[in-house]
Amino acid sequence: MSDTIEATERVEPAPAGRPSRSILRRVGEEFLRRREASVLVVAVGLGVYFASAHPAFLTEPNLVNISQATAPAAIIAAGMVLVLVSGEIDLSVGVVAALAPFNMHYLIDYYGMPAIPAILLVLLISAAIGLLNGAVTVFLKVPSFVTTLGTLYLITGVVLTTSHAYPVAIPPETEGTIRTWLGAATWSTLIWCLLIVGFFHVLLTRTPWGLHTIAVGGNLLGATEAGIRAGRIKIGNFMMVSTLGGFAGLLEAFRINTIDPNIGGGTQIMFLAVSAAVIGGTALAGGSGTVLGAFLGALVLAELQNGMNLIGISANPYFLILGIAILVSMIANVYLSRLRRAGRV
């Protein structure tokens, strides 16, 4: 179909015979066309499998476990998708998550700041790290992989040096309401996660910012010729993912009730977020990706880890399966988008 010029050839007569079947088929095709479809099938399939394999899987405490494993990765992944779609990557976001609760601790306990301004300032500092990542990448033309590799180690050094690699207690000023709202309450992290995923999904799919993000990642020269300020878009996305990293770090610290230099496992949470984005159908090359897909990707990863643990498989093969999942979903992604281009799906 790709070289037809006349539209008339493409218009198919409305199927009059069996409308119920054609509606089903159309729903099916629409479903397949959505990038999130395949990963949703995997997420539901895994849920059904583990639920039947172990009775504890669907109990409330376990669902809380899964939600708490999903949330921080999905929150970071929401911003990561935007960065990836604009054609860049941020490796430093995981250690920004580790730095954020320490910054809060320093501001409150050493500088005597009230809790809420301190938390806001922590988020601002996180955004500033994103600004640094973006500015070095855009203005000094250092590839973002290298820029953020540098800031990854730099911030790790800051965290370890200033904390002497020891965990500290949550500042008492944040006990109570703040802690409850920001991660300690049972479903708190999931609620934040859903709000953030919803917001970034709309940002990417329904706003000029999202459109320009796709344009910059899809055709940098063309987007620039159309007058889009590509640098501004990229820097903004770096700032958003970094802020989300800081926020996820705070949530984690409040949830586990400790400020630990290993929050997010150093680079682990960043790799989880990238994996979630990739499994959810985001291309690393830029130009396409979905926030909902990344959320589902994070859910799949959490389900896998939790379910395998429940049915008594040790944690080690988890990485084996994670690796296979990334490869399979990436191959499927490349293949499916080729089919989509050809107009067959």
What residues make contact with other proteins under the rule CB under 8 A?
1-8, 10, 202, 206-208, 211-212, 214-215, 217-219, 221-223, 225-228, 287-288, 340-341, 343
Tokens coding 138: 């855009």
- CB of 25 or CB of 341, closer to other proteins: 341
- CB of 53 or CB of 202, closer to other proteins: 202
- Residue 68's contacts (CB-CB under 8 Å, 6 or more residues apart) are 189, 190, 255
- CB of 23 or CB of 202, closer to other proteins: 202
Q: Which residue has the tokens 């820097």?
A: 235
- Residue 171's contacts (CB-CB under 8 Å, 6 or more residues apart) are 104, 105, 108, 109, 115
Q: Are residues 252 and 263 in contact, defined by beta-carbon separation less than 8 angstroms?
A: yes
Count Cα neighbours of 308 within 13 Å in the Cβ-side half-sphere. 16
**Closest CB 274 distance from other proteins, rounded Å:** 20
- CB of 115 or CB of 223, closer to other proteins: 223
**Closest CB 2 distance from other proteins, rounded Å:** 6
Q: Torsions phi, psi of 168, nearest 5?
A: -130, 170
Q: How far apart are CA 325 and CA 304, in angstroms?
A: 10
Q: How far apart are CA 194 and CA 315, in angstroms?
A: 27
Q: Are residues 134 and 238 in contact, defined by beta-carbon separation less than 8 angstroms?
A: yes
- CB of 60 or CB of 225, closer to other proteins: 225
Q: Are residues 265 and 114 in contact, defined by beta-carbon separation less than 8 angstroms?
A: no
**Closest CB 288 distance from other proteins, rounded Å:** 5
- CB of 214 or CB of 298, closer to other proteins: 214
Nearest partner of 296 among 274, 273, 276, judged by Cα? 276
- CB of 207 or CB of 268, closer to other proteins: 207
Contacts 24+ apart (CB under 8 A), 222-230: 230/138
Strand partners, 259: 168
**Closest CB 300 distance from other proteins, rounded Å:** 24
Q: What sections of the chain are H helices per DSSP?
A: 19-33, 37-53, 60-85, 93-105, 115-139, 144-163, 177-179, 188-206, 208-218, 220-225, 230-256, 268-279, 291-310, 316-341
- CB of 224 or CB of 267, closer to other proteins: 224
Q: Torsions phi, psi of 258, nearest 5?
A: -150, 150
